[in-house]
Each structure stands twice: as structure tokens, then as C-alpha cells.
């Protein structure tokens, strides 16, 4: 899997797959569903959660939660909120990157598990509301376009309408200085 596969919160499919021969003849590890993915090259700080078993290239680190003191979805949102800070810590002449040592030493603010879960619930509720609002905006945009065509005609059909200069339609045509 590549960074380009990390466009959403969850990764449930990948553009490319490793062959069995490629997997068996490499040091690549299979990451299990639930693993948090964090990009460390190029698009530093992109975050997703695996829904499928997958392997990654060297640009993506897999983070598996050790114990119940950290909620995976809390860490997802926390790292997502720190994406711009992560990008600024990147180094590299041709392409920004951070190494695994920098990632391992990254400080995380850790409230109690109850507060983490409360934060996640609130953020998920807000995210759902944003999704609903975006859907409504798309519906309204389609409505505006259909009303425009209903009122003014199809732009393709407009070519059949008469063309008249503004000078013949207006009594005064000039700027504030004329």
C-alpha cells in the first residue's frame, strides 16, 4: 500500500498488491486490520486506519496500540490534528521525511481513557454532521444548476438566441469618470 491509499480515515482497499513471491522474498511485514498508519516520507503526517491486512512501503509506519490506556481513534484524531507540526519537523533535501526515531520520540498528550473516548465521540459526531452538510450542499448545488437552466435555458441552447450589444440595450454605458 502507498500513501495515496490513505485518503480517508479507513483503508479498505489498495491500488497495488504485493505478490506472494514478493512477500516471501522480502523483509516486508503484514500489518493487521486496526493498525494505525502514519506517513513518514513526502506527505508527512497523513494518518489512516487499516480495515484489511496489508503491507506498506517504507514511507508508511504501522502503529499498533500496546494496551488499553490509549484509544486508537483518539490517537488517529490526535495525530491528524498535529499534521502541520509533523510536516514542519520533516527533513530532507529533495523530499521531506522523518525517521522512525523521531516518530518514536513524538510526545502525545494523553488524557484518561474515558476522556479520550468522549473526545472521539464528539469528533465523530461533528464529522458526521459535516458529511451531512456536504451532502446537502451538493444537493443545493444541483438544484441551483437545474433552476438556472430552467430560468435561462441550457447554455448549449443559448447559441440560438439573438446577440445584441449592451450599447443598444442601455441608455448610458461608461465608467464613473466619463
Q: Last residue of some domain: 48, 83, 108?
A: 108
Segment 44-91, tens digit of pLDDT: 888 999 999 998 888 899 999 999 999 999 999 999 988 656 555 556
Alpha helices in the chain (DSSP H): 20-24, 72-81, 83-88, 100-104, 113-152
- Backbone phi and psi for residue 171, each to the nearest 5 degrees, phi listed first: -80, -35
Residue 46: domain span: 1-108
Q: What is the pLDDT of residues 131-169, one digit of tens each?
A: 999 999 999 999 998 888 888 777 666 667 788 888 888
Q: Structural domain tally of the chain?
A: 2
* 18 within some domain: yes
pTM metric for this prediction: 0.71
Residues 6+ apart with CB under 8 A from 71: 65, 113, 116, 117, 120
Are the C-beta atoms of 48 and 56 separated by less than 8 Å?
no
Q: Are residues 142 and 104 in the same domain?
A: no
Query: In the predicted model, what is the mean pLDDT of residues 89-100?
Result: 65
Let me know if residue 165 belongs to a domain. no
pLDDT (tens digit per residue) in 31-50: 999 999 999 887 788 899 99
Amino acid at each position: 500500500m502507498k500513501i495515496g491509499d490513505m485518503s480517508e480515515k479507513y483503508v479498505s482497499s489498495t491500488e497495488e498488491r504485493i505478490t506472494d513471491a514478493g512477500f516471501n522474498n522480502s523483509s516486508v511485514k503484514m500489518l493487521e486490520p486496526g493498525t494505525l498508519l502514519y506517513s513518514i516520507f513526502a506527505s508527512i503526517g497523513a494518518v489512516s486506519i487499516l480495515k484489511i491486512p496489508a503491507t506498506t512501503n517504507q514511507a508508511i509506519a504501522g502503529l499498533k496500540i500496546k494496551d488499553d490506556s490509549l484509544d486508537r481513534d483518539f490517537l488517529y484524531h490526535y495525530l491528524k490534528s498535529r499534521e502541520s507540526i509533523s510536516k514542519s519537523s520533516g527533513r530532507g533535501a529533495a523530499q521531506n521525511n522523518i525517521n522512525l526515531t523521531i516518530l518514536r520520540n513524538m510526545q502525545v498528550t494523553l488524557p484518561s481513557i474515558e476522556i479520550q473516548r468522549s473526545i472521539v465521540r464528539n469528533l465523530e459526531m461533528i464529522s458526521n454532521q459535516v458529511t451531512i452538510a456536504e451532502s446537502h450542499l451538493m444537493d443545493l448545488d444541483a438544484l441551483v444548476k437545474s433552476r438556472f437552466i430552467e430560468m435561462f435555458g441550457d447554455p448549449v441552447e443559448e447559441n440560438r438566441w439573438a446577440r445584441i450589444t449592451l450599447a443598444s440595450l442601455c441608455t448610458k454605458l461608461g465608467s464613473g469618470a466619463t
